[in-house]
């Protein structure tokens, strides 16, 4: 436990840029763990953010021959697939309507 605490304190004593620079020239690499804001607005975010219907999403990090492999779409609205999902679980349309009316689902 003491060993771990000393290591954590050691990392806290230097900033991220220090540790990234320290790793240069080695056979491994490190990179910072960004906050959500940094991921969408920080350096290196260019080309890594997709805006689909007003919803920003992180783009697929791997490209093959410059092609973006992912098909992006906005996430569903709350309750958008309730009938389909509950129907696949065996609930009838009437049962789903009852659940919606009673506020169990949207």
Average pLDDT over residues 26-32: 78
Q: Alpha-carbon distance 106 to 100, whole Å?
A: 5
pLDDT higher for 38 or 99?
A: 99
- Count Cβ neighbours within 10 Å for each residue of 23-47 and write b for 16 or more, e otherwise: eeeeeeeeeeeeeeeeeeeeeeeee
DSSP helix/strand/coil, 59 = coil
pLDDT of residue 67: 73
CB 47 within 8 A of CB 63: no
Residues 42-94 have pLDDT tens digits of: 777 777 788 877 888 877 777 777 676 667 777 788 999 999 999 999 999 99
pTM above 0.85?
no
pLDDT above 90 as % of the chain: 26
CB 95 within 8 A of CB 105: no
């Amino acid at each position: 436990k003491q060993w771990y605490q000393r290591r954590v304190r050691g990392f806290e004593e230097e900033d991220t840029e220090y540790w990234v620079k320290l790793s240069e020239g080695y056979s491994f690499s490190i990179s910072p763990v960004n906050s959500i804001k940094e991921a969408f607005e920080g350096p290196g975010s260019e080309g890594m953010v997709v805006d689909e219907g007003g919803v920003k999403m992180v783009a697929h990090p791997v490209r093959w021959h410059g092609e973006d492999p992912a098909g992006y779409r906005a996430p569903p609205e709350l309750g958008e697939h309730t009938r389909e999902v509950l129907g696949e679980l065996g609930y009838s349309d009437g049962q789903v309507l009852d659940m919606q009316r009673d506020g169990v689902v949207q």
